[in-house]
A and B are shown apart, each in its own frame.
Chain A
Amino acid sequence: QVQILQSESELKNPGASVKVSCKASGYTFSDYGLNWVRQAPGQGLEWMGWINTNTGQAIYARGFTGRFVFSLDTPVRTAYLQISSLKTEDTAVYYCARDPKGGYCVGSGCYSFRFDYWGQGSQVTVSS
């Protein structure tokens, strides 16, 4: 069965970095993109972007360029979100979600923007 398992909670100081992992199983990894979604405390969902699991190309939404980096380790079917120079406003739950190939194309990837399986979420808390 399809499973997406994320890393555990992290507590970081402002200015530090964090790397969140997202391990997929139960399906052909390269047939689906992986998206990242942020949810700040008590707030809604924000699309951060996606990573093409065939090419490794990452596409970032506005507001998530510079300090945010998506990467892959394809042999272990794992995607990563790294955030550098952490700020208190980065405190949030970060989700990864699977996305079938489809008609919305940016860069080398075309996906459906339809997230049919989600990880359980990774809490990142930034506080001194």
Chain B
Amino acid sequence: QSVLTQPPSASGAPGQRVTISCSGSSSNIGSNYVNWYQQLPGTAPKLLIYKNSQRPSGVPDRFSGSRSGTSASLSVSGLRSEDEADYFCAVWDDSLSGGLFGGGTKLTVL
């Protein structure tokens, strides 16, 4: 069981907005930047959001991130079939002096 808690699944119809949560603690999300990764089936993960809410070049603005206290969230608006993937939050943990990934959320576009 991961120290960072994500729902195992999420879903939405095309065009809708879906939000995925990531819950942690004061030693990780509460004090460090959260990053999000998208992993399409059979491929390597891809950086989607960094420093809580920043998008790397090339990532559509349909993807957005936020952080509040010891939780973070990733929102996907205007859902498209190609958004079907696993999404992972990741953050540094000061108590562990190491990095953590959330357990991952499988997003299904209905």
Contacts and interface: CB of A to CB of B under 8 A. Distances in A.
Interface residues of A, number: 23
B24 interface: no
A46 B99 CA distance: 9
A39 B9 CA distance: 18
Interface residues of B, number: 28
B98 A62 contact: yes
Most buried by A among B39, B50, B99: B99
Contacts of A121: 44
A113 interface: yes
Contacts of B63: none
Contact of A106 (B37, B51, B98): B98
Q: Across chains A and B, which 5 residue pairs bring their CB atoms closest together, nearest first? A: A47-B99, A118-B44, A45-B101, A44-B104, A113-B92
Interface of A: 35, 37, 44-47, 49, 59, 61-62, 95, 97, 104, 106, 112-116, 118-121
29 contacts: A37-B45, A44-B88, A44-B101, A44-B103, A45-B39, A45-B88, A45-B101, A47-B98, A61-B98, A62-B96, A95-B45, A104-B32, A104-B99, A106-B97, A106-B98, A113-B33, A113-B90, A113-B92, A113-B99, A114-B35, A114-B47, A114-B50, A115-B35, A115-B47, A115-B90, A116-B47, A118-B46, A120-B43, A120-B44
